[in-house]
Structure 1
Amino acid sequence: MSRSQARRCHSLVVRVPGPVDAAGLRQRLCAGAAEARLGTGELRLWEENLPFGAADPAAAHRRRRESERPLHTSALPLRAVLLRYADGDADLVLVARHELTIGDDPFTFERAGTPTGAATGRRPALEWGLGTPADAGRTGEVTVPLPAGLRAGPALLRGAVALVLARYGTGAPVDETRRTADYLAEWESTGTEGPPALTGSGVGVRVERAKPGERRLPSLAPELPAELHFTLYDGGRASGLLRHDLGELTPVVAERFAGHVAHVAAQLAAAPQQPLDAVELLTPQETEAVLRLGISPATDTTTAGRTVHGLFADVVRRQPDAVALTAGDTRLTYAELDAMAERAAAGLHALGVAPGSMVGVALERDADLVATLLGVLKAGCAYVPMDLRYPEERLRYTVENAGITVVVGGVDAAFPPADGVRVVTPDELRALGEGTGPVAPAQDPAAPAYVIYTSGSTGRPKGVVVPHRNVGALLDATREDFALGTGDVWTLFHSSAFDFSVWEIWGCLLTGGRLVVVDHWVTRDTELFYDLLVAERVTVLSQTPSAFAQVIEADRRRREPLAVRLVVFGGEPLDVRMLAPWFARHPHTGCRLVNMFGITETTVHVTAHTVTPADVEVAGRRVGRALPGWTLSVRDPRGRLLPVGAAGEICVGGAGVADRYLGLPGLTAERFVEDPYGGGRVYRSGDRGRLRPDGGLDHLGRLDSQVKVRGHRIELDEIRNVLLGHPAVSAAAAVLNHEVPADPATARIDAYAALREGTSTADVLAHARGVLPAYMVPASLTALPAIPLTINGKVDTAALPAPAATGQEERTEPGGAPADEHDPRAAQILKLWGHALNTEVTEKDNFFELGGNSLLVIRVLREMRELGLPKVTTQDFYRNSTAGRFIALVRESQG
């Protein structure tokens, strides 16, 4: 029978004490049917004799099955079945379509004017239900365990459900500063239907009065994902039943939800003078169980109690002649890399840099970078990596904020001068350390190892201070599970200013692997990078999903065998559906794909989930259980623990929690808090998630204005504050958009500003480029008379207009000669650019000023190859990013 037919029917079960007069019952049924003009010719009372008593569990199962069996569309609108039990009692089961109402007297019926009860429109979602889509249409049933002595009425029961749903983060919010009595009084005044507090929650509530032994179902199949049916009996006794669609609400979560309703109802009834915020959602036993669910015990090793350079020294002693690092033509053994780092450490001491100091490192990805980072650690200092492609103002701020006096910078890329700061090259640093003897490095695992700066909502980046012991704990947590060892070849693909590099460098070198340093321009050319993966026989690859999407595309075209056995995703949410082409060529048993949720403040990674083709089918958001030594919990805005399924703020504790934000005690106290449930400090991540019954985590996005774009963590408020720093900007906003929904390559930041008269958007964007790194500069800036606000004074993003196309005033002149407007090659390239950027492009336009990014560069170059156009390197693209110059470059390549 279809589910739609079940929704068109309702039922009533009435206990008939023995001795049972079946003939009398049939006579009364026919009389009621005749009164309702049903026609009694086909009405009959079906009888079934059962070999057990009315109180037997088998009887309950039979009653339920019969009362939930719908009518055929062509049948009479009523079916009556008498279930006779061995002890002489019986149950009368009546099933009717909604066009027929069964009265309080089960033998009186009334035709409704129109069929009622069937669900109409789109059903609200039940985000916290964690149901199984394959079970959609099947009905589950859970008893609400109301206390035996509870005197319940409609107001108490409906109020309890509304408060539980508010704590779950769905339904209407509740002012929890009120007294319980005042809260319930509002529910008393709303009558039997109740206020619209449950609207849109996906949960229905029905409260009815009944005689002992009666059981009414307003619909044989739930019209909503979950429906609570409360029955009130004489004397104040109440019973409750939760019926739910198994496709949307799993039995484990359903049972806990029903328990929460009962627990809250008992507290509301017992203490009418207490404030609502004193009501506990979870029992002490469930609180302990949920906390335990988010804990992964630490592995039994001593790595976490060591320094990074101490652990590296262990590897050097074990395999001094093994190759530690490959960077272009450079190959260094572990002993050679150790010696370079020793000289760098001695050079820092020669410069008077004291242990515990912060040392800036502003180098391209090469062998010098890795040796310098290790040298800083050997000197007892913490390294502060800086990307030379960041604006000078941002680099100066980092140096000043960290109190840096020495920066190790490259020869070709000059570091901006700063007062009191000495800039030395790696060669100069090592020369200073020649002949000074080995440095005796400090071995304090609690000392800072590095400080990485992340986007900050105040308009300035914030430095995250991470101690040595956290890095060791990360290796402890992953080494055995990922089978990391001396046979592995890793890539250093990411900027040292991005915390993914911590995992790549030390994950490799502290487990004895070989680190392949990937040149900046190779990371931006997927074909070259794929060649490198093949040539170097890379086995461990760390990628943002956006970058790996390009690898999948290259892999689809190429046939060279890859040696990759482990791919670690991080930096941004993973849409598992993108992995289908990869699984088509690479069995998941041969190459393991691991989705890892992580935060700089919790040492790169927090969870791990191995992705399989089954995950691709369900398109879930799983990021897995906490790593060994880490803890996970989900909290509400007041910091209270939430149950399995309910969405809230992800809080992370355990071995990975960083020390602090550098120089920001207020923000540190706000985000790094003592756990009221015990267990030390936890970091309030600002990420939204929910815990699953198996302890795994679903990542559901952000709670604030932070976004992830191509692996970069961006505070939209930082962009807004930078725009407000322009003297002609009176108000501003920044939003994340996608040219193509769910396509990470088309992610872009669009900004809006209220400008004083005479100010151009080009001037404001130039100001932003001088402060923000390239990945944070808005792709567009739209001038508005005023920024629209909600009634709460926040930016009303729904009221913002579509981003303005880049104006001519923001476009740069090409450096080369313009192409002939009738040149078919020029028209072809302009069309390619326009398609990628979703806008009309002229020869005067700059690819990046129109919103282009590294992923779109790769896409354009790939499409050029497919069209048979000359090959252009990514480096040449960046150097000729104006359409006119790019067209001239292609002409020259054609000879």
Structure 2
Amino acid sequence: MATAHWSVPPQSHEQAALCHSLTISCPQPPGTGELRRRLEQVGELADGVLWERRTRERSTAPAARRYAEQEARRPLRATSGPRLRITLVRHTDDVADLVLVASRDALSRAALSDLAGFLTGGSLPRARRHGTPRGTGGAGAAPPAGPEWGFGDLARRGHVGAARFSTTVRENPVDRKLLTSAAAIVLARYDAEETPRIALLDSDAAGPHALYTYVFKYDEALSVAGFLAVGPETSEPAGEPATEPGGGPAIALGMVFGEWDEARRYHPCLAPVFPLTLQVEQHPDRSWSGTCWYDEGAIDPRIARAFTDQVVHVAEWLADLGESGEELPLSATPLMSAAHAADIVRRGATPAIAATPTAGSTVHGRFEDLARRHPDAVGVTDGTRTLTYRQLDEQAELMAEGLRSSGVVPGSTVGVCLERDAILVVTLLAILKSGCAYVPMDVTYPHERLRYTVDSAGVRLVVSTVDVFPVVEGVRSVPPEELVRLGERSVPRGRTTSSDENDPAYIIYTSGSTGRPKGVVVPHRNVLALVDGTAEDFGLGEDDIWTMFHSSAFDFSVWEIWGCLLTGGQLVVVPFWITRDTGEFHALLAERRVTVLSQTPSAFLPLVAQDRESPAELAVRLVIFGGEPLDARELLPWFARHPQAECRPINMFGITETTVHVTAQTVTPEAALRGSRSVGRALPGWSVSVRGPRGEVLPVGAAGEIWVGGAGVALRYQGQPELTARRFVIDPVTDERIYRSGDKGRMSPDGSLAHLGRIDSQVKIRGYRIELDEIRNVLLGAPSVSGATVVVHHDESGDRAADRLDAYVVLGRGTTVAGVAEHARQLLPDYMVPATVTELDVIPLTINGKVDVARLPAPTAPRPAETESPDPVGTGSADRLERDVLGIWSRHLGTRVGPEDNFFTLGGNSLLVVRVLAEVKGLGAPKIAVRDFYQNSFARQFIQLVRERMTLASDAPAAPSDEREGRRR
């Protein structure tokens, strides 16, 4: 397919879109005087209408053709000038090109052709003028905005591309209807959420009669024959015609049909009227050829070429289908050949990086190798305890011996429910050394969720501290220090349990749509592939200092722990309360000189604000974003203090089922200004592709489900073979095992992936993966609840800290909203408990039987009567401090707060806590730790705490004058 390009200044785009041109080759060109006489006969002679140009080339030279083409693409001036321009381009061999450029509202294509014929010796043309041009104002309008799937480059606005295409001569020829229908099918695949609409531009008509908008009743369950029989349903365009380029047309595709004439080159528009404007002309042999005109500011050239190729492919497929179209559904229509689809899939894969020959094949084997080579390097620290690689390895080996002595056999699962500290890391390594898989659980989880997890994973021993893990029949809870004692008494020591790279390393439980979490089984090889695939590009090594910020039950911790310890880095385990206090966390980053920081975007934003206020200098060189979509614009304040040359932000897309990370994209200041949604290309060893509902490969630009293949694909869901079979499938294109992610995305022409959220009811809030159906099923399990739904509330300002879950329930007699909320708290972790529970008489449904979110009322926040305040604290009268604190709470929670309200019951979260404490400090109060806030989360309690701290501060004795002077110095 050939392509051509030229430029149209944005301020001239509308005028160019309203013009068309016709070029005729004249072997025996008329003289200038003859042209003038003929123009007088048709009343077209006026100043500025007739021009003559000479080239220094023979007519057969490419340069001569280009010159004529330039004249044919040069639009008329603004509305005050003539509506016609005629240029005779004479070449050195006495051959000329006659170029006519006119406004479509002044002369139709037929009138233009008749006039050209008369000027070159034909008969006097029939009157085909259109009269006064209409709607040609606004010459400063910009080129048409492109669809999201177009991936246009704004820096290329005004650069017009022309992609050529053609059909072949076949037994069952393609006709105009098949071409239009094929274009509708292709358009529907690119934008599945929109009804395909195509504008047909009639170059022989003017004004509102020049445009017909075809709306296709597209249903993939319909048979191909049924779709073609129904055909397009014509609808008149409302308001201004869609051909007005300055109006930001909603229609992505326009088509212009005509007859091929080798001697007459016709351009229906001198700038694209629509983002994609297809000019199609039929040849005498009933084949078609054409040009796709597009503005590169709206459509990437590669997508324009692919789109037109697919229209031709589908049209020819429809023509050859014959009677079999009665049986085949529209969903069976192939947009491209199998070879082309396979090529798209190949482009989404990145070759793996080979591991070094000496590297171990298991996580603990790789660690042991590093411990032998760098025994005295610091491996892990938590602020109170520091262990070198040798000490970490020895402690883990003792604990592994203790596990063996406790009856744990290789291949079994061992639960871990510990606070975040260095001993947690020792325990995880010990479990791997014993030949087992670890099952991490957060100490804050409700007991019922902990019981379900150990039962589902087949856990018989849990490493946990006293009084943390609930009593579960058949499950022993053993503290880590007891395992160490058992290991010290065990003989012989240092036994190595043989493990295979295919053995499970861990099982992490994520939210599940059935109402119960689902366990993802990940083998050793996947973790090693993740480290090997990132170490070189990220420059990971023994000079790096990492943080373990996240819970071990969140798979981001897999990256933090093993990404650090398998590349020789130092791991700083961040205590829970410091992760909740942005000021203390920033101070820790500065004090420990942390170089590699992993964060969800929601957690990072408060850190950016803290960094602007803190004089402490950070040493962070890599910021790894994951867990939720990143709005790159939010990084602009960070770039102001941390240039990209010093700190590299990397946006990563990933899923627990594909081992934490799948893609990586370095975020530049330019990308941040654009608000880029790119998550980059697949990591080495991984592959990504975008598929339709039946697994068909979608073209570049089209939105669909992200399928992930390669080194990160997990083994299975624990104990759920049916779910495993549905989500872990064999790819019909590559015959490789692949994971259907349920995430929505589109591939860009450069092979990078844009992440567009979820297809199903799964959401991400502050990095946590949540299945709304799991919460709904838990609510339905409460006594006398007959209906329930859960929605995500996004703050209008876009502030993710204010995102919350709102639940709506239909209650029977004897059940209260407070009782339902308490039921949810007993089964769900804090981040999944709805911030509000609102009672309804009935859940509103759409005509399709789905929840009608638009008809759900504003949520009802729990009031004091529905909460039980522990040991109410007297606050005295409603003085200024009380009013100020309640005002701060109300503003951040988005609801009126009373003295008896609980911050977290009203939808508060850790990010809002940090903001509230910052504002309270502005009232003149001393610094209040996040831990103190959590322990005084009722408004009355917190106000009393602030009052007491302010009193203590005011009663403190003043420093001696010499001490004050010393501080000043």
User: Which of the five TM-score ranges fits, normalised by the shorter chain?
Assistant: over 0.9
Answer whether contact 2:146 2:299 (CA < 8 A) is retained: no
Alpha-carbon deviation of 1:694? 2.2
Deviations 1:181-213 (A, max 9, x none): 5433433886999xx9xx955122222345444
Matched, 1:651 2:738: no
Which moves more between the two structures, 206-215 or 392-401? 206-215
AA of the residue aligned to 2:152: G
Matched, 1:417 2:474: no
- TM-score, reference length from structure 1: 0.94
AA of the residue aligned to 1:131: G
Inter-partner Cα distance in structure 2 for 1:5 and 1:326: 65
Deviations 1:39-91 (A, max 9, x none): 74436322223344556544553344323322222102222223344555544
Name 2:54's counterpart in structure 1: 49
Name 1:296's counterpart in structure 2: 350
Matched, 1:673 2:694: no
Cα distance change of structure 1 residues 237 and 561 upon mapping to structure 2, 3 Å threshold: same
Answer whether contact 1:575 1:619 (CA < 8 A) is retained: yes
Alpha-carbon deviation of 1:321? 2.1
Alpha-carbon deviation of 1:732? 1.6
Inter-partner Cα distance in structure 2 for 1:758 and 1:97: 75
Matched, 1:816 2:821: no
Matched, 1:626 2:645: no
AA of the residue aligned to 1:161: A
Inter-partner Cα distance in structure 2 for 1:201 and 1:460: 44
Alpha-carbon deviation of 1:683? 0.6
- TM-score, reference length from structure 2: 0.87
Name 2:70's counterpart in structure 1: 65
Matched, 1:358 2:413: yes
State the Cα RMSD in Å: 2.6
Deviations 1:537-590 (A, max 9, x none): 111111111111111111101122212111111111111111111111111111
Which moves more between the two structures, 478-487 or 455-464? 478-487
Aligned partner of 1:499 among 555, 559, 568? 555
Deviations 1:157-183 (A, max 9, x none): 111111111222345374446554543
Alpha-carbon deviation of 1:812? 3.5
AA of the residue aligned to 1:503: W
Answer whether contact 1:818 1:843 (CA < 8 A) is retained: no
Matched, 1:324 2:379: yes
AA of the residue aligned to 2:310: H
Deviations 1:323-342 (A, max 9, x none): 21111221112222122211
Alpha-carbon deviation of 1:116? 5.7
Aligned partner of 2:297 among 247, 251, 264? 247
Instruction: Give aligned-pair identity as a percent.
Output: 51
Matched, 1:793 2:849: yes
Alpha-carbon deviation of 1:637? 1.1
Answer whether contact 1:816 1:888 (CA < 8 A) is retained: no
Aligned partner of 2:520 among 464, 483, 506? 464
Alpha-carbon deviation of 1:805? 3.4
Matched, 1:128 2:133: no
Which moves more between the two structures, 328-337 or 91-100? 91-100
Name 2:627's counterpart in structure 1: 571
Matched, 1:140 2:161: yes
Answer whether contact 2:167 2:287 (CA < 8 A) is retained: no
Answer whether contact 1:305 1:472 (CA < 8 A) is retained: no
Matched, 1:156 2:178: yes
Which moves more between the two structures, 417-426 or 222-231? 222-231
Name 1:229's counterpart in structure 2: 279
Name 1:599's counterpart in structure 2: 655
Answer whether contact 1:124 1:201 (CA < 8 A) is retained: no
Alpha-carbon deviation of 1:488? 1.3
Name 2:21's counterpart in structure 1: 12
Matched, 1:109 2:128: yes
Which moves more between the two structures, 283-292 or 723-732? 283-292
Answer whether contact 1:180 1:271 (CA < 8 A) is retained: no
Alpha-carbon deviation of 1:525? 0.4
Which moves more between the two structures, 454-463 or 159-168? 159-168
Inter-partner Cα distance in structure 1 for 2:501 and 2:784: 49
Answer whether contact 1:490 1:514 (CA < 8 A) is retained: yes
Answer whether contact 1:491 1:538 (CA < 8 A) is retained: yes
Cα distance change of structure 1 residues 749 and 674 upon mapping to structure 2, 3 Å threshold: same
What does residue range 340-379 of structure 1 map to in structure 2 within 5 Å? 340-379=395-434
Inter-partner Cα distance in structure 1 for 2:133 and 2:813: 63
Cα distance change of structure 1 residues 525 and 190 upon mapping to structure 2, 3 Å threshold: closer
Aligned partner of 1:94 among 79, 97, 100? 100
Alpha-carbon deviation of 1:532? 0.9
Cα distance change of structure 1 residues 569 and 616 upon mapping to structure 2, 3 Å threshold: same
Alpha-carbon deviation of 1:235? 4.2
Alpha-carbon deviation of 1:872? 0.9
Matched, 1:82 2:102: no
Cα distance change of structure 1 residues 127 and 47 upon mapping to structure 2, 3 Å threshold: same
Answer whether contact 1:710 1:744 (CA < 8 A) is retained: yes
Inter-partner Cα distance in structure 2 for 1:359 and 1:827: 51
Matched, 1:337 2:343: no
AA of the residue aligned to 2:468: A
Cα distance change of structure 1 residues 203 and 801 upon mapping to structure 2, 3 Å threshold: farther
Deviations 1:229-273 (A, max 9, x none): 212344424221111121121112211212211222222222333
Alpha-carbon deviation of 1:379? 1.0
Task: Give the ranges of 4+ consecutive aligned residues of structure 1 lying more than 6 Å apart after TM superposition.
Answer: 117-124, 188-193
Inter-partner Cα distance in structure 1 for 2:745 and 2:441: 31
Name 2:195's counterpart in structure 1: 172
Name 1:485's counterpart in structure 2: 541
Inter-partner Cα distance in structure 1 for 2:604 and 2:703: 29
Answer whether contact 1:145 1:258 (CA < 8 A) is retained: no
Inter-partner Cα distance in structure 2 for 1:448 and 1:819: 56
Inter-partner Cα distance in structure 2 for 1:552 and 1:349: 46
Deviations 1:768-813 (A, max 9, x none): 1111111011111222222222222221222322223334443343
Inter-partner Cα distance in structure 1 for 2:919 and 2:346: 51
What does residue range 27-38 of structure 1 map to in structure 2 within 5 Å? 27-32=37-42, 34=43
What does residue range 715-734 of structure 1 map to in structure 2 within 5 Å? 715-734=771-790
What does residue range 157-306 of structure 1 map to in structure 2 within 5 Å? 157-170=179-192, 171-172=194-195, 174-176=218-220, 180-187=224-231, 200=250, 202-209=252-259, 211-274=261-324, 275=328, 276-302=330-356, 306=361
Inter-partner Cα distance in structure 2 for 1:523 and 1:846: 22
Inter-partner Cα distance in structure 1 for 2:578 and 2:169: 70
Matched, 1:3 2:57: no
Which moves more between the two structures, 850-859 or 347-356? 347-356
Answer whether contact 1:609 1:624 (CA < 8 A) is retained: yes
Inter-partner Cα distance in structure 2 for 1:14 and 1:272: 40
Q: Secondary structure at the match of 1:140?
A: strand
Cα distance change of structure 1 residues 148 and 59 upon mapping to structure 2, 3 Å threshold: farther
Inter-partner Cα distance in structure 2 for 1:28 and 1:761: 88
